[in-house]
Amino acid sequence: MNILLLCALSVIEIAFLFLAVQKKPAVKEWFFTRLLVNGGEVLVFLVMLPLPGIDLGMRFGILFFFLGIRAFLAAVLYFMKKKGEKEKKSAGMVFSFLGSLLLFVIGSIPSFLFTDYEGLPATGQYEVEMAQAILVDEGRLESFETDESKREVPAYFFYPRGGNQGEKYPMVFFSHGAFGYYQSNTSTYMNLASHGYVVVSLEHPYHSLFTKDTYGKLILSDGKFMQGIQKINGTEASEEMVFALSSEWIKLRLEDSCFAIDKIKKAAKNQSLADCFYVSEKDREGMNQAISMIDGGKIGFMGHSLGGAAAVTIGRQREDIGAVVDFDGTMLGEIKDVVDGKDIINEDIYDTPLLSFDNEEHYKSRAELSRQGVPYANNVVLAHAKNGYSTYIAGTGHMNYTDLPLFSPFLANMLGTGDVDAEECVLKMNEITLQFFDCYLKDVGEFQVEEGYFLQDDGN
């Protein structure tokens, strides 16, 4: 529909240019016609608004705003112009035409970048509510700033609406990947919450794509962090460089996550929000409700990519973590040192139940390293895990273990996806994740997982 709308607006502009050049109107007359055309383009947008895929949200809101502003400015310019016989120059008409087309293209960009995705249906019995808070760590300075500000950790809660009176639910944390954000796996949070979990998606400021602090200031990814990610993904990155950078990143995420776990557990125990919780008035009731539902004795942790790596290390270090899910993350926190260019990997028994998802290429590379006898963190950790499980979904790329391919296939393809059906992949991932947490946090059923899953539209 975005192409149809763009074509309709362009045809109007082409017709206007053709007729105006033929007629050679006076300036005042041309501006009056321009006003009618701009108003007509707004009307065309409104007429097409009921069609599937067109709305006033993120995808088409900018274009509609541009059209409205143009119509307003055209009216202002028309009434400002004095009546006269001076002809409108053809060059001016052409520039106006080209400017309109450029405006249409710019305004339409979000409609090509994003789909009209509205979420996947949750499979549980509960509807889901959401509340948010920012946890302020008075014991840590913000290392990315020089103004003595304290480290802040935004936390987004997804919890069952209503629930059973007085019933407590397991709490599952999520840590996003590099340049990710708290909504990266929303379908997973929603599905878990609909089955009786309180899910807390954490944001790591300066590691996330964007977030806001307690003052409402927009915080983007840190430039040095972005450069570091590019370096370790490059072909010339040494093992020593990867270890030095990733150790710093994992340390930050451990500190963020452990602080959030401790404070939320304490709030659940005391049934009250501590001073470190920065909560808006509109979220306060929801936050209190979410806190009242938490069973602090049953905690899971999951994460994607760098967040998955952090989740694995948190599961090793904290005794209160009952289950961990790693969505396609290299377990960087399990590398203890690098000697002569070789990773020294933690071979201690991994006690916490662990489920690891791989994309297809990751799965194949892991298998090849195992055949060659080359130590690789994920292989070593899973081999030493008491309850370690690994699986992959055929046809997947790295971003298929997030919701990004569902609402922005263009961006997801740039970052790495496979030819698997994106929706079927996420549904299968969410199904397996639920079964895993049900087994180890709720003692429901026995968990089993296949080595790989071949979905109907995986392209193989």
- In tens digits, the chain (460 residues) has pLDDT values of 678 888 999 999 999 888 888 888 888 888 888 899 999 999 988 988 888 778 777 788 888 888 999 998 888 888 887 776 688 888 888 988 999 999 988 888 877 777 777 789 899 999 999 999 999 999 999 999 999 999 999 999 999 997 667 789 999 999 999 999 999 999 999 999 999 999 999 999 999 999 999 999 999 999 999 999 998 887 778 899 999 999 999 999 999 999 999 999 999 999 999 889 999 999 999 999 999 999 999 999 999 999 999 999 999 999 999 999 999 999 999 999 999 889 999 999 999 999 999 999 999 999 999 999 999 999 999 999 999 999 999 999 999 999 999 989 988 898 899 999 999 999 999 999 999 999 999 999 999 999 999 996 544 4
Q: Among 49, 82, 113, where does a domain finish?
A: 113
- Cβ contact 392:363 at 8 Å: yes
Q: Could you tell me if 75 and 222 lie in one domain?
A: no
C-alpha torsion sign, points 84, 89, 90, 94: negative
Q: Among 81, 113, 145, where does a domain finish?
A: 113
Indicate the pairing of strand 169-175 with strand 294-304: parallel
Indicate the pairing of strand 321-327 with strand 198-202: unpaired
Q: Could you tell me if 172 and 143 lie in one domain?
A: yes
Q: Could you tell me if 108 and 133 lie in one domain?
A: no
Q: Could you tell me if 305 and 206 lie in one domain?
A: yes
Q: Give the span between the Cα atoms of 460 and 453, in whole angstroms.
A: 12
In a domain, 458, yes or no: no
- Cβ contact 315:355 at 8 Å: no
In a domain, 121, yes or no: no
**Integer CA distances (angstroms), 3 to 10, 100, 111, 112, 416, in order:** 10, 16, 9, 9, 25
- Quote the pTM value: 0.87
- Count structural domains, the chain: 2
